[in-house]
Structure 1
């Protein structure tokens, strides 16, 4: 969310307090879905604004709540425009102090309104890290973000997944993205959009020439492109039998790859998992003896080969 749009939204609400999402979308030249995302982000940041459903509903700023944009510093406005980040991510970006000051200003203004309602900031906590997430890598994300502000090309030393050594390449960055507790550099590599996991980015250097990204593309559009590419349904449908007790776990682990489910035998459930290739059935080994691959035969055979190899490695040696 851009700081200018966030402040424009608040200023409109300050004058009218209640505005329909359609009118806000038209005024700010964005979609209704974007307006709703902005409102959710502002609410999470402690701004008393919410979406009201119904025939006469719309976006509402609580009476007495006023945000004077002239009292916010540029860094504070930046922190509010990134309201979806949690405390750890704000610290990694180096905007914790600015964010805390902005929230204090909002709290002071809220107190002046003498409202007795509990703020959403006291009722909602945002933690974007995955469960059992490891500590962040050594890369200084705040320094990288500061480097990207001047929009240079970057020479990076990056180790691809599974590779032993990093390779050097020149990329054209759009910016940074945080997804499920991990940070990524979003950049064009030889005019192709790619995600570079910062945990495997060993070194970077800003070059003298400016970034040359593809025309009519920005960070948000490229991120959407990469998400669609990553989360698109696979080309191979795998039919499995899974114990009912592991269905919730499967939904959590497999996510959008789980494309179908139906009742099975007593205590079991039939499920369809979509993968880009048969070799990806390796992921299903983590379900152990709670799963059986039914079809296609190539997938069933591959799981059998992997399970046999695993069993051979764990055979007990004679005393």
Structure 2
């Protein structure tokens, strides 16, 4: 739309004041002739902008001109409220265009404001990327479509495959909303009255039902998410103690995170670490430390790690023979 393009042109000029027609054409994705026509239209409307010819010419906005073009529209404010999302996640939510429009307006406002003794914005010094390393965050359903459906505040029929299952099953849930956590998307919903997390990479389909959601009146997406997060990251029912070389402690912190409950002071180059798991079977996570780890307690954890190591060794031996 021409009105949107004219506003974009104004914001670009307010940010830089002098810009070549070639650069403006590239930024606006139009021809140079269209840029010149837009400049003529703005000038005719009383905007102090004109075209300068010559080698150092370009499109110029008169210095000191203050344009009230930085007002944020409701969709732009909504996009900014999702500040924790990275560019890929904003794209999946369908708010990238509104985010970029709001960012242009903010940049124009900042350009018109004296910076004092600090030439750099905080945004020039800090980059937030919430995606984990080497992660594939593809989802089976369209996140933007799901978010749009959730606005209706009605129940959902979903097809979902649990991590331990090979086939998806159907269930009816009462949704709170969507959470983006460490590069993964989750549907937060009550299933049979109990709060659950449904990873969108294992949610293959959803259907909006006629019945309204049935949620506790004092629960919100944030409160339910906080409870589910605490349930997931809280202290496990099984405490496992192991010994690890001191130089592997940073690796352990990256892998185990908040599962670590206690770390002893180094002694003879090793540390004693206590972690929490929901059950003994979860100790299989510790196999990735290989021969650097020595399980101390409980005995059930030592036995299970020994069994798993033996199974792995036999499998590797059989495949190489």
Q: Normalising to structure 2: TM-score of the pair?
A: 0.75
Equivalent residues in 2 for 1:3-152, closer than 5 Å = 71-115=71-115, 117-152=119-154
Query: Which of 275, 280, 300 is equivalent to 2:282?
Result: 280
Q: What is the aligned partner in structure 2 of residue 229 from structure 1?
A: 231
Query: Which of 300, 305, 308 is equivalent to 1:306?
Result: 308
1:239–1:295 contact (8 Å) kept in structure 2: yes
5+ residue gaps, structure 1: 1-67
1:241–1:264 contact (8 Å) kept in structure 2: no
Give the whole-Å Cα distance in 1 for the aligned partners of 2:221 and 2:157: 19
Q: What is the aligned partner in structure 2 of residue 52 from structure 1?
A: none
1:258-315 per-residue CA deviation (whole Å, 9 max, x = no partner) reads 1111145533211111111111111101111110101111111111111111111111
In structure 2, relative to structure 1, the CA distance for the partners of 1:318 and 1:113 (3 Å cut) is closer
Q: Normalising to structure 1: TM-score of the pair?
A: 0.76
- 2:258 counterpart of 1:244: no
SS at match of 2:219: coil
Number of residue pairs the alignment of both structures matches: 253
Query: Which of 252, 258, 261 is equivalent to 2:260?
Result: 258
Q: What is the aligned partner in structure 2 of residue 53 from structure 1?
A: none
Q: What is the aligned partner in structure 2 of residue 163 from structure 1?
A: 165
| CA RMSD of superposed structures (Å) | 1.9
Q: CA deviation at 1:115?
A: 2.1
Q: Which moved more, 1:114-123 or 1:98-107?
A: 114-123
2:70–2:109 contact (8 Å) kept in structure 1: no
2:140–2:202 contact (8 Å) kept in structure 1: no
Larger Rg: 2
SS at match of 2:307: helix
